[in-house]
Amino acid sequence: MSLFSAVEMAPRDPILGLNEQFAADTNPNKVNLGVGVYFDDGGKLPLLQCVQAAEKTMMDKPSARGYLPIDGIAAYDAAVKSLVFGNESEPVKSGRVATVQAIGGTGGLKIGADFLKRLNPDATVLISDPSWENHRALFTNAGFKVDTYAYYDAEKRGVNFDGMLASLNAAAPGTIAVLHACCHNPTGYDISAAQWDQVVAVVKTRGLTPFLDMAYQGFGHGIAEDGAVIAKFVAAGLTFFVSTSFSKSFSLYGERVGALSVLCQNAEEASRVLSQLKIVIRTNYSNPPIHGGAVVAAVLNNPELRALWEKELGEMRVRIKAMRQKLVDGLKAAGVKQDMGFITSQIGMFSYSGLTKDQMVRLRSEFGVYGTDTGRMCVAALNSKNIDYVCQAIAKVV
């Protein structure tokens, strides 16, 4: 009898499980559209030039590795604030944003969740139906009851916006609403600017706590365009949470670079909130690692490198859009009768293809094309070499 005798085997992470299956697949034509990672047209994970340039400067002047402050690199936190709220924005100028460096976007969400649990332990967390798989698990593990708000309308192929508003309208005051700031994962469907205005209004009248998850800023329509939703919440006079991830936008997945920003009523409140966020961090992992944050800060705070980053991010965005169009055209050419044009009205890395679980299983087992059972495919992993094969495979299963 050991302490661990009764430990149950946890279910495999659905996405990482797919990756393992993919790695073991001997099909020479196999294509991994399961995981949310951007690959370039050569099928490679890009190492951005702006990142290489920043790293070269750092290598030329190697520095010792002391502990960072609990809230991370000051220049990094400042850069995140400007990126999320705008350099000249009132929240930044008045000092009422508390920002901490975090271990990826996931870390930002978790710090926020742990802090919220202290503030409002009985609150329910509402996530979109469906949402990024980890939202439910993360907020449940932080001790919250997690429910969903209506989001995807499979028949209409889009957002069930009336349903979304109705769900938010029915939520009790204090409910935490997790909102995808842009590039909704997994569906690829975002709400319009006018619909955001309505969401902001409901959040305000119902007294909900907005938690904006911004994991794809710059992957949708542009850095400013994707970030525009933040200004709407600011203009409404709301206080709220924003988690940021640079995993995709800097192609720095393994460096775990992210942040949490909390917009408070004034600078004094922000300093109290910051002090509590620091306790959450201190008691979890003490302080963040240096490298990824230093790279991102060096890029964002240097005009030339920043311009290079914007160019490279723009290229990723444009390539994804081109792949969406090629997918639509390729499916048509491969004989798919139904109109797949909806794929180009989706945005970001993912496409909810509308394929059934059975069709997704057949794609995997017969063709080595890996997407999730929900029909989600990562269009950012398509390229000029694999697109025809993927289109032919889909045409054979639909």
C-alpha span between 315 and 319 (Å, rounded): 6
Among 36, 86, 218, 368, binds ligand PLP (CB under 6 A): 36
Q: What mask, x for binding ligand PLP by CB under 6 A, covers residues 358 to 397?
A: ----------------------------------------
Among 247, 353, 359, 383, binds ligand PLP (CB under 6 A): 247
Closest of 53, 87, 112 to residue 260, by C-alpha = 112
C-alpha span between 152 and 170 (Å, rounded): 18
Pick between residue 45 and residue 307 the one whose CB is nearest to ligand PLP: 45
Among 98-106, 218-226, 297-305, 354-362, the segment contacting ligand PLP (CB under 6 A) = 98-106
Q: What mask, x for binding ligand PLP by CB under 6 A, covers residues 116 to 135?
A: ----------------x---
C-alpha span between 21 and 12 (Å, rounded): 12
Give the list of residues 6+ apart from residue 223 with CB closer than 8 angstroms, or none: 83, 217, 310, 313
Among 103-111, 233-241, 271-279, 329-337, the segment contacting ligand PLP (CB under 6 A) = 103-111
Among 72, 86, 91, 104, binds ligand PLP (CB under 6 A): 104
Which of 132, 190, 226, 309 is the catalytic position? 132
Closest of 54, 89, 69 to residue 281, by C-alpha = 69
- Rounded to 5 degrees, what are φ and ψ at 148? -120, 155
Token pair for residue 139?
A: 């907020």
Strand pairing class (350-352; 376-378): antiparallel
The answer to whether residue 185 forms part of the interface with ligand PLP (CB under 6 A) is yes
C-alpha span between 144 and 166 (Å, rounded): 22
Q: What mask, x for binding ligand PLP by CB under 6 A, covers residues 300 to 339?
A: ----------------------------------------
SS3 label, residue 186: coil
**What residues are labeled active site?**
132, 213, 248
Query: Site residues (CB under 6 A) for ligand PLP?
Result: 36, 104-106, 132, 180, 185, 213, 215, 245, 247, 258
